[in-house]
Structure 1
């Protein structure tokens, strides 16, 4: 378990001090505990074209890789009185299958991508057959009183508004294709929010880093005017100054959301812009439509479909291409079955296309079954092709 002692002592000490103070001040108020979580099993079928992304040991042949992981999540919340609470989220996964066998660095990659400033994970099993990994991806203390809300620890600093891409989400960007992580990544941060009214607030948040260039310090102002929720953000984010805005409202009977962020790197004197907007509409018989697009000045104009799997994700670069558009449809086939399809197209030289069909079934009680497809297409000299197709089957029990 790789936990820098100076970091974990600082973090734990602050929480311990807070807990001691609140116990001394509110001894007459009872504690309460809340437990929840789920267990999931995800089976994936990954088909690689012989000339595409297959691991080196499989090059030269069309390849079907089977992959599995067992996932348990435990959420614990402890509340003391009216104002204090501590929340923890423990994520444990067991990986096995062909992908694990073909990648000797699989465990290390899972571990390195699971943390922020603090290393709160354990890679407790790592061999050529099985990978076992546990991480505290939520661990924060919270104090609320009247119009004030203060959080310290690993948390989700959620400044995103739009559906697919969130350039305002500068603290913990996430990828749309990572569908199985519904909690989304967190950040080791302190956040202070003051509610100015029923729909307005002022917020200041800081994310820790070993160096200033790795840290984030930014503020957000949220206000409602003219029937629209508006937000304005500004600050310093990992060696970039950032200014942004976002909105959510209606165009007649349709919803209208969007975000824009401008980034400036003083060391290189370079700036970048990310803008997204989408419109969604629910038809009378249950059909739901959501459509929009993204402009990403850091994206590629000539890149092939391979860029979808190799680009470096951040709020400045949420998709590998300069332009992208999406259309998403969903429909309740029955009260227990919902079907959907999302397509993302980028007008680059390769005409990169990503298709994401889904079927969600409520089996009984707290049980659900999902089938998810991820198919990519691009155009080369031989024509349009699909070099990679993946199908995921997931069963989930919530408690």
Structure 2
């Protein structure tokens, strides 16, 4: 906008000087030539300085544009003062700075410049040097001046508005591209979170299968039926997780969100975790009957990770009690509480990898937080009374599916 304003000012200054010369040489009107040319010359000098400054800084902020329009208003007022004031047919040029301000400025500076323009116009009603009359033709001359002013104003408005619409179209295009990139990045992030979560969950059954195979290799006895069933169940876990990941990719990376009953959703996550950790236990206490939440493909993985971390924390402290999972409704949110008796909220970030509880990869909490936030939720951890940690997951409630 500033660049366009500078180029237009060059044209206006040239037009001002040519008009003064034309009025004096062709119409023989005794107007004050020196003040008028001095004002145009000063405006040209200001424009040159502004042009050099713009080339160096490329800044077109609000303050800069306000200063430019303010100088234009004062220069126009000075020119009109020496050439008839409100009687000058070019007085409607006051509308051009107002139009530019309306296009390029916020509401407050735009209103300020509009009020200033009205005040300057009002001031000219009583303070100006009257134009000399040319008997018999002064009114026709005034009409001709109004016609020239209309052509000039229309041309300037076409240039300014065309440039403004070009900027608007370019911004819309950039916004559309940014929105598409954001959707694509969110999709890749969702797929990445699920992939990382799948790797996190596969670590336990793979470790179990590795131990079984090592025992069989080191033993001359035939594997027991119980060990074979355990191996089979762990293979089933791995297959289910890989299928979930493939289903996520097939549905477009971000997953197709569904609306599920809150208690049923959390209970299903606890049951799925029990299959993953048959040697650990969890107690679920429902408290959100007939309420629903929005669930994407990665959210169940997030809750399972958090329950798994809680079980690891219990095991790390030698606590053989169950992980406690409860739901409640609070201020339009589903609150899922996961309680353990581990080392407290700081255990994940405070301990180095080799000292963290459990066999996990140490990424469960990070994965869970990303998935929860993608579902417009939030997560926090606080100290539990009597020792341990309470992990709370807040999910926004939605209308219960019919």
TM-score, normalised to structure 1's length? Answer: 0.19
Higher Cα Rg, which structure = 2
* Higher-helix-fraction structure: 2
Return the TM-score normalized by structure 2: 0.19
